[in-house]
Amino acid sequence: MGASITAYTRIRGQDQTQYPSQHASTNPACFTDLVGTYPVTPLEGVEAACLAAREAFKSWSQVPAPLRGNLIYNLGQLVRENKVTLAQWLTREMGKPSAEALGSVQEVIDTCDFFLGEGRRLYGQTVPSEMGNKKLFTYRRPVGVCGIITAGNFPIAVPAWYVIPALLCGNTIVWKPSEDAPILAYLFCQLVEKAGFPAGVFSMILGDGPTTGAALVSMIPKGLINKIGFTGSTAVGQMIGRVAGEQLQVPCLELGGKNPLLVTEKANLDLALDGAYWSAFGTAGQRCTSLGVLILHDQIYDQFLERLLARVDQMVIGDPTQKVAYGPLISERFLHNLITAQKELIQPHHQVLTRTIGQITRANPWPNFVGDPDVGYFAHPVIVAGVNKTDALYQQETFGPMITVVRYHELEEGLGWANDHGYGLSSAIYTTDPSQAFYFQEHITAGMVSINNSTSGAEAHMPFGGNGYSGNGSRQSGIWVLDQFTRWQSVNWDYADKLQLAQIDTVYQAGDTAFRVPGCG
Ligand code: UN1
C-alpha cells in the first residue's frame, strides 16, 4: 500500500487536466490498493497529440543525431537513478515479482545505453558510382510521427524498445501505454520530459485498446501517423496491419507466441528442467516469449515430466514483493481471459497433470501460497497433456501460467510440433549434441532460437521479433530496429557540369562483353 497518483494525458509536456480522471488502476495482488487514477483520452485529445507531434517533427528531425543521443543519455541516467522506485511501482501496478521488475527496468537502461552511442553512428554508406565526377551516398531519414501501442507485461521496457530508437532517429511519438499500467507510464513519461526532449516530441495518451488504441489507429488514414508500432495480440495486430497496409505503411508488429521448448534425449536434464520451469512460469507465463509447447523426446518424457511436476507442485506463488515464483496476473481481464481459455480449450481427451485449473482462492487453494489469494488475480499453474495438432489448445496462444506437453520420437517430428501452430516468435532446444542444435536452428520458423537457455529473456540489443502469427518480420532492438524508424534515402551528387545518364552514358570497358547475351551482337 502507498500513495496513489493521478495520471494525465501529456501533450506538449503538459498535463491535460480537461480530461477528468475517472478510471482506477489497482494493484493486481491486492485490489483494495488504489495505485492511481487516470482519464481516457478522448478522440480530440488523440488528434491533438498527433498534431503536436507533427509540428514538433519539423525541428526535432533537424537536431543533429549526436545531440539527440545526448538526451537518450540523460534519460538512461534518470531511469538508472530511479530504478528501484520504478521497479516498486511496476510490482505494485502489474504484479511482477521484485527481481523481475528490476530486470525489466534494467532493459530500459540497456536500451538507452545502446542508442545513446547510435546517435554518433546512424551510419549511411558511400557507394561507388559507375561514372566519373559523381558521388553516391545513402542516408537514414526519420519516418515522421510514430504511434506506439504497448502491453502491460513489460510496461516500460517494451515501450522503450520503440520509443528510444524512434526518438534517436529523429521521429516524434504518440504513445498509448497499457491501461493496466498507466501510472508507471506517467512516471516514465515524466522522466522522458525531464531528460530534455522538446515539447511535442513525446506525448502520451491513456485508455484501453478498443477506445484509445483504436482512436490512435484511426489517425493513420487521416494522415497524422506515419508509422505504427504495436505489441499485443495477433488478432489486433492483423487489424492494425490492414489499416496501415491500406495507407501503404508497414507497421512494426510484435504479436503472440506459442513458443516451443524441445528437450532431446541428449539434453542435460537438470539444465532443461530449470529452463522449462522458468520459461513456463516466470512472469506467470505472461511474456510473449513464455513457453507454450513443451516437446519431450520419448526416452526422457516420463522422467522429465515427473521431475517438472514435482517442482511445480512445490512452487511458491503469491505476493510479488516476497520471494515467489510468480505473482498475480496483470489484471482481472488477463485472469478472465485465461479462465475462459481453460474452459473453452481444455477438452475431455486432454489430461490436466497439475492440481487444478482456474483462479487460486481460499476455496480453490494453492498449498504454497504467500498472502491472501482472495484479494488478487492469482492463477494455478497448469500443464496439459494429450493435445493433438488440430486442437485449439495447440493452435492458440494462452497467456498465463499454462503449457501443453507433447512427446516426439524423431527430431523432425519434434520440429513439426514446434512449428505447425503457425506462430514463430521464440523457441528453445536443450541438447548436448551440436548436430541436433543446428538441425533445430535451421528448421525452426521462429525469429529467436535459444540453445540450452529459456524461451524468454532476450538481451536488449539482439533482434527481437517473430514470423507467422507472431509478427510481420519486423525486428526491434539493436541496430535492426533502425530499419523500422528510418527510411533509406539515396543521394547522387553529380559535379561533371554536364548531364550524365546512368546506363546510357556509362563508358563500359572492352571486357564487359562477358555479360552480353550470346548471339545478340
Ligand atoms: C514481451 O513479452 O513482450 O525476452 C517481451 C524476454 C523479454 C522481453 C519480452 N526480454 O522475455
Task: Determine the pLDDT at residue 187.
Answer: 98
Q: Which atom of ligand 1 is nearest to the CA of 460?
A: 10
Q: Which atom of ligand 1 is nearest to the CA of 464?
A: 4
Contact of 264 with 411, CB cutoff 8 Å: yes
Reported as a single tens digit per residue, the pLDDT across 169-186 is: 999 999 999 999 999 999
User: Which pLDDT value is given to residue 514?
Assistant: 55
Distance CA 45, CA 515 (A): 60
Across-strand partners of 318? 370
Inter-residue contact 156 to 190 (CB < 8 Å): no
User: 50 near 147, Cβ under 8 Å?
Assistant: yes
Q: How many Cα atoms sit within 13 Å of 489 on the Cβ side?
A: 10
C-beta of 9 in contact with ligand 1 (< 6 A): no
Cα dist from 67 to 70, 227, 488, whole Å: 5, 23, 21
Confidence (pTM):
0.96
Distance 357 CA to ligand 1 centre (A): 25
Look at residue 248 in the predicted model and tell me its pLDDT: 98
pLDDT score of 513 more than 70: no
Question: Is 225 a residue whose pLDDT tops 80?
Answer: yes
Q: For position 509, what pLDDT does the model report?
A: 80
Is 457 a pocket residue for ligand 1 (Cβ < 6 Å)?
yes
Q: Which of 200, 202, 217, 221 is CA-nearest to residue 253?
A: 217
Taking the centre of ligand 1 as the mean of its atom positions, its distance from the CA of residue 79, in whole angstroms, is 19
Q: What is the pLDDT of residues 434-443, one digit of tens each?
A: 999 999 999 9
- Per-residue pLDDT at 352 exceeds 90: yes
Looking from the CA of residue 290, the nearest atom of ligand 1 is 11
- For residue 153, give the ligand 1 atom closest to its CA: 2
pLDDT band at 458 (very low <50, low <70, confident <90, very high): confident
Q: Is the pLDDT of residue 471 over 80?
A: yes
Asked whether the beta carbons of 491 and 139 are under 8 A apart, the reply is: yes
Ligand 1 centroid to residue 203 C-alpha, Å: 24
> Do the bridges between strand 423-424 and strand 369-370 make them parallel or antiparallel, or are there none, so unpaired?
unpaired
Using only C-alpha atoms, the chain has a radius of gyration, in whole angstroms, of 25
Instruction: State the pLDDT at residue 242.
Output: 98
- Please give the number of the atom of ligand 1 that sits closest to the Cα of 254: 3
- pLDDT, average across residues 459-467: 95
- Alpha-carbon dihedral of residues 278, 283, 286, 290, nearest 10 degrees? -20
Instruction: Indicate if the pLDDT at residue 430 is higher than 70.
Output: yes
Query: DSSP string spanning 284-325?
Result: GG-STTSEEEEEEEHHHHHHHHHHHHHHHHT--EE-TTSS-S
Ligand 1 center to residue 287 CA distance, Å?
6
Give yes or no for residue 32 having a pLDDT over 70. Answer: yes
Site to probe by mutation for ligand 1, drawn from 106, 158, 261, 278 as the one with most ligand atoms within 8 Å of Cβ, is 158
At 408-419, the pLDDT tens digits run 999 999 999 999
156 CB neighbour count, 10 Å cutoff? 26
Phi, psi of 305 (to 5 degrees): -65, -40
DSSP bridge pairs for 127: 136
pLDDT at residue 511, as a whole number = 66
Distance 475 CA to ligand 1 centre (A): 13
227-276 residue pLDDT tens: 999 999 999 999 999 999 999 999 999 999 999 999 999 999 999 999 99
The distance of Cα 353 from the centroid of its chain, to the nearest Å, equals 30
Tell me which of 330, 464, 475, 476 to substitute to probe ligand 1's pocket, judged by most ligand atoms within 8 Å of the beta carbon: 464
Q: Cα–Cα distance between 402 and 387 in angstroms, integer?
A: 13
Dump pLDDT digits (tens) for 54-106: 999 999 999 999 999 999 999 999 999 999 999 999 999 999 999 999 999 99
515 pLDDT exceeds 60?
no
pLDDT per residue as tens digits for the range 95-150 = 999 999 999 999 999 999 999 999 999 999 999 999 999 999 999 999 999 999 99
Tell me if 153 CB under 6 Å of ligand 1: yes
Q: Which three cell numbers stand for residue 401?
A: 501460467
53 CB within 6 A, ligand 1: no
The average pLDDT across 309-313 equals 98
Of residues 424, 510, 504, the one with CA closest to residue 468: 424
Sheet arrangement for strand 10-11: 14-15, 10-11, 202-204, 172-176, 145-149, 227-231, 252-254
